[in-house]
Amino acid sequence: MTLPRTPSFRLDGKRALVTGASSGIGLASAMALAEAGAHVVLAARSLDKLEGVASEMRALNLSVDVLAMDVSDTAAVSATIASMPAFDVLVNSAGMAKNSSAIETTESNFDAVQGINVKGAYFLTVAVAKRLIELGQPGSLINISSQMGHVGGIDRAVYCASKHAVEGMTKAMAIEWGRLGIRVNTICPTFILTPLTQATFDQPDKLAWIEENIKLGRVGRVEDIMGAVVYLATEASALVTGSALMVDGGWTAG
């Protein structure tokens, strides 16, 4: 009898690109991948912040480089990715929110959110996949979505629209590239305490709404995302594509 063995949760020899890597979920994702053995390229708009993060990671003997990147500049992003060695793993974590009631939404805020959360993520994912296809390599492409890609939320019509779009494009890309060995999935966090969400947690009514809906009874931490990132990036999830991994404390279950 041949006993099954657990697939590897390691990424030794793999290259990973993480956007939004200077803080929050992006930083946690970069740490998780680097700890699993990947060489990680940290990407964000602020090179100074990235250099600080990279310095601390290198002090832990982790393998990292930095890359200034504004995902909303799709032409520059595509040209940059085309000039680099292929990435085995992508974590699309750059994102933003402009929360207001739907009736108070401005066109400029709508365009800003969609430009990063949808358009930026879309064309970066395409650029990374294109390099893999050119070289005949498999890969794992991970979009940081949200529980709000599956439900609605107070003052979040624009954000929900962007994350529902990310869920749709992920499924379509997974179908298109599956036979090429390129997997595409999303991670869907609940409210995670980061600099981006601090303003929401500072509002008592919003905090009460959040705590009421998270069935595990606590808000999320960036560490809650790290295992999910490693799972989807590695051979441990070799048959997983076009899926949404909920890390939402049970929010959408209700």
| pLDDT tens-digit readout, 130-144 | 999 999 999 999 999
Q: Provide the phi-psi class of 242: left if phi over 0, else alpha when psi is between -120 and 50, else beta.
A: left
In contact, 58 and 65? CB cutoff 8 Å: no
Q: What is the CATH number of domain 15-247?
A: 3.40.50.720
| pLDDT tens-digit readout, 231-249 | 999 999 999 999 999 999 9
Share of the chain above pLDDT 90, in %: 87
Picking from 67-76, 98-107, 142-151, which range would have the lowest pLDDT averaged per residue?
98-107
- pLDDT for 12 equals 98
Cβ neighbours of residue 62 under 8 Å, at least 6 residues apart?
31, 34, 35, 40
Confidence tier at 46 by pLDDT (50, 70, 90): confident
122 has catalytic annotation: no
In contact, 189 and 248? CB cutoff 8 Å: yes
- pLDDT for 214 equals 96
Compute the average pLDDT of residues 165-191.
98
The mean predicted confidence, pLDDT, of the chain is: 96
Among candidates 148, 134, 186, 243, which has minimal Cα distance to 29?
Answer: 186
Among candidates 222, 126, 140, 152, which has minimal Cα distance to 186?
Answer: 140
| pLDDT tens-digit readout, 95-145 | 988 888 899 999 999 999 999 999 999 999 999 999 999 999 999 999 999
User: What would the DSSP string read from start to end of 106-129?
Assistant: -HHHHHHHHIIIIIIHHHHHHHHH
Cβ neighbours of residue 181 under 8 Å, at least 6 residues apart?
137, 138, 139
Helix (H) or strand (E) holding 252: none
In contact, 233 and 16? CB cutoff 8 Å: yes
Among candidates 134, 210, 148, 236, which has minimal Cα distance to 177?
Answer: 134
Is pLDDT of 206 > 90?
no
Catalytic residue (one of 87, 122, 159, 251): 159
- pLDDT for 195 equals 78
Is pLDDT of 73 > 90?
yes
In contact, 18 and 33? CB cutoff 8 Å: yes
Buried b (16+ CB within 10 A) or exposed e, 155-184: bbbbbbbbbbbbbebbbebbeebeeeebbb
